[in-house]
Structure 1
Amino acid sequence: MNLAVVLVSPKTPGNIGSAARAMLNMDARDLRIVAPRCDYLDSSAVAMAVHAADLLRGARIYPTLREALADRDLSVGTSARLRADLPAPRHPAQVRPLVRAAAAPALVFGPEETGLVNSDLEQCQVTVRVPTGDYASLNLAQAVLLVCYEFLQAQDDVPDPTRKTATREEMEAMYGHLHDTMHLIGYTDAVRARHTLRLWRAMLDRSLMSSAESRLFRGFLRQVKWKVEDGARRGAEALPVGTERETAED
């Protein structure tokens, strides 16, 4: 399975090395690191990686999560708590069929101290939570090992035929287009825009759009913009002669 593991702003080299080792245990080999706050090739990282040192050295570094997910068609965030305006985390086993059906899934982990923030989770179609006891805080490598196990243990099963899902970059571009259209038609304002877009994201991400469907949706948004601008132009042309000049003089 072409599963990418994305570590967002990790702080400790040893945790990164341990996460790489956990990945190798589960046969996940695509490590991506977003804005690391340490030297991910520090000697302590290499020591903790053990036989996964080559996997660690081959990690790709990105400045933003959006860039790290650009070529992925499914992104799965991780969180131990409920978030306002965001879907509740699910058990990893419940998400496994989605991951297996994806061509290029990604598993996203947040910083050791805070986990993923809301703006990170907004870029994930689904969120998972590892069931634990009352003490829910897992070490980064433990979380990587457990969730990769859930997603990869069924890799020998015959996957169901599926269509190609849109990449995260295609979806993020579509959401940017939707945001602009909402403002254009007065559907929302600057105060409510983020909350409103979160609700739309949750609904549209559940649909697992194909690339063609995302283009179809953007074609609809382009038509909305054209119609609004055409209506404004026709309204201006319909004004009585001299109205615009008199208004300007006033």
Structure 2
Amino acid sequence: MNLAVVLVSPKTPGNVGAAARAMLNMGASDLRIVAPRCDYLDPQAVAMAVHAADLLRGARVYATLREALADRDLSVGTSARIRADLPAPRHPGQLRPLVRGAAAPALVFGPEETGLINSDLEQCQVTVRIPTGDYASLNLAQAVLLVCYEFLQGVDEVPEHTRKTATREEMEATYGHLREVMHLIGYTDAVRARHTLRLWRSLLDRAQMSSGESRLFRGLLRQVQWKVGSVGVTPVSGPDFGSELDPVQEEDGPANH
């Protein structure tokens, strides 16, 4: 399986090295690091990696999570906490067929002390929660080991077919386009736009659109933009169809592991 492991802003070199070791044990080799806060090639990291030192040295570094996920067709965030208007974390067994059926999945892990923040989880189609006891605080490398095991070694069956879905970069471009059109036609406003877009993300991510389908959807959006411009209409802000839901905090908050 072409599985990537993405570490967002890791703080401790030893944790990065230990995560690389966990990956190698489970058969994963594509390590991606987003905005690291440490030298991931520090001697401590290399020592903790043991025989995975080459995997560690081959890691790719990105400035943003969006860049790290650009070529992925499925991104799975990790969190133990339920967030308002974001998909609830699911058991690994529930997500296993989805991950194993993807052509280029990614597992995303947050900083050691906070986990993934809301804006990171927005970029993930689904979220996985590692089943634990009442005390849920796993070391980064432990989390990488367990989640990689669930999706790489946990079962023997191979999916009958793999459906090629749109990359995350294609979908992020689609969501940016959708936001523009929502503002243009008065579907939402600046205050509620993020909340409304989260609802649309959840709906469209469940559809697992192909590249062609995402282009088809954007073709509709372009037609709306052209039509509004051609008739010279200045839309009046209408009701936000997500506004009847419970209000949410738009600030990104820390996530617990």
Taking structure 1 as the reference length, the TM-score comes to: 0.92
> What residue in structure 2 maps to residue 100 of structure 1?
100
Paired residues for 1:54-73 under 5 Å: 54-73=54-73
Write the distance in 1 (CA, Å) between the matches of 2:216 and 2:203.
17
> What residue in structure 2 maps to residue 21 of structure 1?
21
Instruction: Please report how far the alpha carbon of residue 95 of structure 1 lies from its aligned counterpart in structure 2 after TM superposition.
Output: 0.4
The question of 1:77 aligning with 2:85 is answered: no
> What residue in structure 1 maps to residue 121 of structure 2?
121
Residues 23 and 148, structure 2, Cα contact 8 Å, conserved in 1? yes
Write the distance in 1 (CA, Å) between the matches of 2:89 and 2:126.
7
> What residue in structure 2 maps to residue 244 of structure 1?
none
Write the distance in 1 (CA, Å) between the matches of 2:186 and 2:68.
33
Residues 13 and 38, structure 2, Cα contact 8 Å, conserved in 1? yes
Instruction: Please report how far the alpha carbon of residue 158 of structure 1 lies from its aligned counterpart in structure 2 after TM superposition.
Output: 2.6
Residues 100 and 151, structure 2, Cα contact 8 Å, conserved in 1? yes
Paired residues for 1:93-242 under 5 Å: 93-154=93-154, 156-232=156-232
> What residue in structure 2 maps to residue 30 of structure 1?
30
Aligned length: 233
Instruction: Please report how far the alpha carbon of residue 119 of structure 1 lies from its aligned counterpart in structure 2 after TM superposition.
Output: 0.3
Letter in 2 for 1:40: Y
- Give unpaired runs (5+ residues) of structure 1: 234-250
Letter in 1 for 2:206: R
Taking structure 2 as the reference length, the TM-score comes to: 0.89
> What residue in structure 2 maps to residue 241 of structure 1?
none
Instruction: Please report how far the alpha carbon of residue 156 of structure 1 lies from its aligned counterpart in structure 2 after TM superposition.
Output: 4.4
Residues 100 and 155, structure 1, Cα contact 8 Å, conserved in 2? no
> What residue in structure 2 maps to residue 239 of structure 1?
none
The structure number with the bigger radius of gyration is 1
Letter in 2 for 1:197: L
Letter in 2 for 1:108: V
Q: Percent identity, aligned pairs only?
A: 85
Write the distance in 1 (CA, Å) between the matches of 2:24 and 2:216.
39
Indicate the structure with greater helix content: 1
Root mean square deviation, CA, Å = 0.9
Write the distance in 2 (CA, Å) between the matches of 1:87 and 1:41.
35
Q: CA-to-partner distance for each residue in 1:127-160, whole Å, 9 max, x for gaps?
A: 0000101110100000000000000015642312
Letter in 1 for 2:209: M
Counterpart secondary structure, 1:99: helix
Moved over 4 A (4+): none
